[in-house]
Copies of this chain bind each other. A is one copy, B any other.
């Protein structure tokens, strides 16, 4: 689904948060995390003591084209070394316990990262190893912890999924797409005049075929039809199609003579 030749543009360090994978175990997950980073517009990856060493080809295989992120990833012996130049550090932690610390939602964390980067602070987002997450010593190095609101009965999150949620929230925090739009392609929503023009055509044919012959019921039936045609933001192109449908059905009726209902 990726466009050929499209590659992530890499912003200067400091403009987007740095993702720090602390003691990651599986190269597949490192690659999938890089792909998720690219999805959400995060580009700077630092690896602290990956269990199986670095680089590992399986990471590139799992990255589905987010190679630049892996190519530029840096390797660090310790978390302290990885975050030495950072000014704001958030640590993801599904169950912060026995600690006195600010705890953010993923959305809250994204908002704070936007604020901090806008102020020129270099930010890091820490993700722990697959099996057990960040350790207490890691968490003590974070300004705040991030706990995603998720099903407490099943909160085991794959590492790349955890990165995906934060990358998605990072992107979304600067996104202004309205929650619902009607995509009208090359047409537009019909005007009331166009709609009434079609209603006139439809009702004339329905009168001609006798569908509306019950005078007592006619106003209610017409209102019902009008409600249906106004409910879904019909477009100008769709009205043209509907004009054609009505005309064609009417011609079919006339070819067959008077409709059976009236026969």
Interface residues of A (CB under 8 A from B): 1-3, 6-9, 32, 35-36, 38-41, 64-66, 94-108, 111-112, 131-133, 144-145, 148-151, 153-158, 160-161, 164-165, 168, 171-172, 175, 177-185, 187, 235, 237-238
Contacts and interface: CB of A to CB of B under 8 A. Distances in A.
Given A1-B155, A161-B164, A237-B100, A177 B6 contact: no
Contacts of A101: 182-183
Contact of A238 (B95, B100, B111): B100
B39 A161 contact: yes
Given A133-B1, A160-B161, A103 B155 contact: no
6 contacts: A3-B153, A7-B153, A9-B153, A36-B161, A39-B150, A104-B179
A227 B32 CA distance: 44
B103 A32 contact: no
Q: Which of A105, A106, A178 has the most CB of B within 10 A?
A: A105
Contacts of A179: 104-105, 107-108, 111
A150 B2 CA distance: 12
Nearest to A234: B100
A168 B106 CA distance: 10
A80 to B, nearest CB: 21
B98 A177 contact: no
B1 A156 contact: yes
Number of copies of chain A assembled together: 2
Contacts of A112: 180
Contacts of A165: 164-165, 168
Nearest to A36: B161
> Interface SS of chain A: helix, strand, loop or mixed?
loop
A230 to B, nearest CB: 15
Nearest to A65: B156
A168 to B, nearest CB: 5
A133 B2 CA distance: 11
B154 A38 contact: yes
A100 B36 contact: no
A63 to B, nearest CB: 10
A100 B156 contact: no
A172 B154 contact: no
A183 B102 contact: yes
Given A6-B154, A105-B178, A108-B178, 18 more contacts: A1-B133, A2-B156, A7-B154, A8-B151, A36-B161, A40-B151, A41-B150, A66-B154, A100-B182, A100-B187, A100-B235, A100-B238, A103-B183, A104-B179, A105-B179, A105-B180, A108-B179, A164-B164
